[in-house]
Amino acid sequence: MKITYISIFPEIFESFLATSLIAKAQKKKILSFSCVNPRDFCPDKHKQVDDEIYGGGAGLLMKAQPLIDAVESVIKTNKLSKRCKRRRIVFLSPSKDIFCQKDAHTFAKMKHIIFVCARYEGIDFRFEQYMTERYPNHFAKVSLGKFITLGGEIPAMTMTESIVRLIPNVIKEEDSWKNESYSVETNMNNLEYPQYTRPETVQGYKVPEILLSGHTKKIEEWKKDNSACL
């Protein structure tokens, strides 16, 4: 899978992409990443990506054209056909569509994901209109929840971690993500059972004896009984 971040602050992604399992997956050629800066598509000498809002309002709004040109450049560079079903252009923004584990499984099947990360007061609505009309089967406006961040970069990284961990060989043991909270098999209605590690006692709290018994059947029953339904 290839993931591209469109952001005016590409440096935000540097340590994220150089750390832990995501870094290892790149070395294994399972994942590849790139960043594109919309400022590179601004014709003026100051590379201005934002401007005042028509009709008034607080703050500044990102211009539509530099973002459109940035997305189109990624599509052209990677030779992504409109007929390619395994790609998504994801615009991180307040939306009725809230990202969930089921979506993560869907995105994990993609060949290429382009994350568009807004800043300031968002992006001129004509960007969304253009993408919806030109790429109706590929464009998605997605939110992580009913809260606001300073920009789309952190939500994009959060989605990235949720998605790539479901790709084969990113996590060595598939059971790590097949049997967990919000499992697709349970229609995302479960919370995983409590888990413990050494030592057996911490601040007076002990590991349940059944987990130390070695009795596989009873342990599995305990896990099932202690998994919560939402």
Q: 100-159: per-residue pLDDT in tens?
A: 999 999 999 999 999 999 999 999 999 999 999 999 999 999 999 999 999 999 999 999
Q: What is the CA radius of gyration of the chain?
A: 22
Q: How confident is the model at residue 187 (pLDDT cuts 50, 70, 90)?
A: confident
Please tell me whether residue 30 adopts helix, strand or coil conformation: coil
For residue 96, pLDDT beyond 60: yes
Per the CB < 8 A criterion, the answer to whether 22 and 161 are in contact is yes
Report all structural domains of the chain as residue ranges with CATH numbers, in order of start: 2-164 (3.40.1280.10), 193-229 (1.10.1270.20)
Residue 116 — φ and ψ, nearest 5°?
-100, 115
* Average of per-residue pLDDT values in the chain: 93
Whether pLDDT at 23 is above 90: yes
Beta bridge partners of 62: 50, 123
pTM, full prediction: 0.91
Pairing between β-strand 87-92 and β-strand 190-191 as defined by DSSP bridges: unpaired
CB 96 within 8 A of CB 34: no
Residue 95: CB atoms within 10 A of its CB come to: 13
* pLDDT single digits (tens) 63-89: 999 999 999 999 999 887 777 789 999
* Segments of the chain assigned E as strands: 2-6, 32-36, 50-51, 61-62, 87-92, 112-117, 139-142, 190-191, 201-202, 205-206, 228-229
